[in-house]
Structure 1
């Protein structure tokens, strides 16, 4: 396996960021749509595979299973060239630090990729809600499956950040999340072969999901999947989830989670990876170029 030294990795990030900012808007949205769907695929798999594990093997192992399968989404994104907002929180600013693009171009990329990620995530959430998360009778009556109950439970938990202290907690979790996500991307850039990239990506993503950090694009799937499945809960299923269902809505999806998590993800990617590595390797990068 060919391993690129850190200075080359950081330089490659800036060059890649320039290329991303140069994409036409329709392509940013299209690639963003694909990335949102791919992250949703990993989140859907994690929902299914972790169902019931905690009750049988313990909460920690349940979290590990959740994290162990989730990375498939980012692996697909990196290997196929889709556009993920949380990765662009590092790529685009790094290009701006190298004076290859303007900050207006950075914002332009962020806006359109974010929209694409949102559309892709919600579309796949719908596919899951009418597919594996719900069973259907011959009369067309839907009932949430055991996986659907897990999906609603996850969504209800995601919008439980009520009050200043809880939102601060979500913000900190979001910083930690994108710190790890962008370290995963750096490790993916380290290697030239597919196996090296997959291994490099897997460990940090497994760590962020298993630890319980917050990712805005993943939540663009998790919360809508729960919202779209919630109408198919039986009374007993709803009672099992409890009072936290009262907070679950399309409004609280934004006010109790995605807005603050998006800001935290930007800080985690741009500041804790982009800025720190740019400061650390600035002279080396300038000498390299």
Structure 2
């Protein structure tokens, strides 16, 4: 197995960031749509697999199981070349720091990918809410399954941040989340074979999910899945808390900002600063 040094990985990130910023909008959007779907696939697996675990083994094991299953999503994203906003929050700034891209290209990449991720996540939320989260009788009346009840509980928890300190909590969780997500991508780029990449991705992603951090793209699935499932089954969730407005104002806006800070400051800027001399030497040698 070949491993690449941190400086070499930084150069790979910068080069990849330049390529991402130059993708045609249609191509970029489709890749972003797929990334939203893939992250939602991991989130759906984590929801189903963790259902009922906390009742028998305690909340810690419940979180651990959720975390252990969720990484399937990022594995699919990385190995298929899909475009994920939280990863691109590191790729594009690293390309700029290395002089390979511009702020204009960064904005273009982030906007198109964010929209694509959102639509892909919503697409999956609809499919899963009408699928394993509900059962239907001959009259077309829906009943929420145990998995749907779990999905509603997850969604409700994610919009239950109140007041300035609640917002600050989401923001900090967003920073910690994408710091680990980008570390997972960084480690995957340090390896050159599939199994090594999968292992490199798995543990940092498991750590962020099990720790309860907030990922804006995952939440684009988790929260809508809870809202839609609750509406289908006329569930008991408090719609004053769980609705399309609070999805944004109590979570996604602030988790997105935190995710950006985690990627830009704690990954792109810090790693460029740490290895600037080696990065410049490698870029000159290309």
- Shorter-chain TM range is over 0.9
Alignment correspondent of 1:163 = 163
Q: Deviations over 1:97-129 (max 9, x none)?
A: 011111110010000000000000000000000
Pair 1:139-2:139 in alignment: yes
* Equivalent residue for 2:246, pick from 228, 247, 252: 252
Alignment correspondent of 2:205 = 205
SS in 2 for 1:247: coil
* Equivalent residue for 1:276, pick from 249, 255, 270: 270
For 2:59 and 2:87, how far apart are their aligned partners in 1?
29
For 2:231 and 2:101, how far apart are their aligned partners in 1?
46
Pair 1:35-2:39 in alignment: no
> So what's the TM-score if we normalise by structure 1?
0.96
Displacement of 1:233 in angstroms is 3.8
For 1:199 and 1:57, how far apart are their aligned partners in 2?
26
SS in 2 for 1:143: strand
What RMSD, in angstroms, separates the aligned Cα atoms of the two structures? Answer: 1.0
For 1:86 and 1:283, how far apart are their aligned partners in 2?
27
For 1:254 and 1:29, how far apart are their aligned partners in 2?
22
For 1:189 and 1:228, how far apart are their aligned partners in 2?
37
SS in 2 for 1:180: helix
> So what's the TM-score if we normalise by structure 2?
0.97
Alignment correspondent of 1:108 = 108
For 1:286 and 1:274, how far apart are their aligned partners in 2?
15
Q: Which portions of structure 1, spanning 4 or more consecutive aligned residues, are displaced by more than 6 angstroms?
A: none
Displacement of 1:161 in angstroms is 1.0
For 1:160 and 1:148, how far apart are their aligned partners in 2?
18
1:156–1:245: 8 Å Cα contact kept in structure 2?
Answer: no
Alignment correspondent of 2:280 = 286
Structure 2's unaligned 5+ residue stretches are none
For 2:239 and 2:49, how far apart are their aligned partners in 1?
23
Alignment correspondent of 1:263 = 257
Alignment correspondent of 2:13 = 13
Task: For 1:112-127, list aligned pairs within 5 A.
Answer: 112-127=112-127
For 1:64 and 1:32, how far apart are their aligned partners in 2?
28
For 1:246 and 1:22, how far apart are their aligned partners in 2?
42
Q: How many residues align?
A: 283
Structure 1's unaligned 5+ residue stretches are none
SS in 2 for 1:246: coil
Alignment correspondent of 1:230 = 230
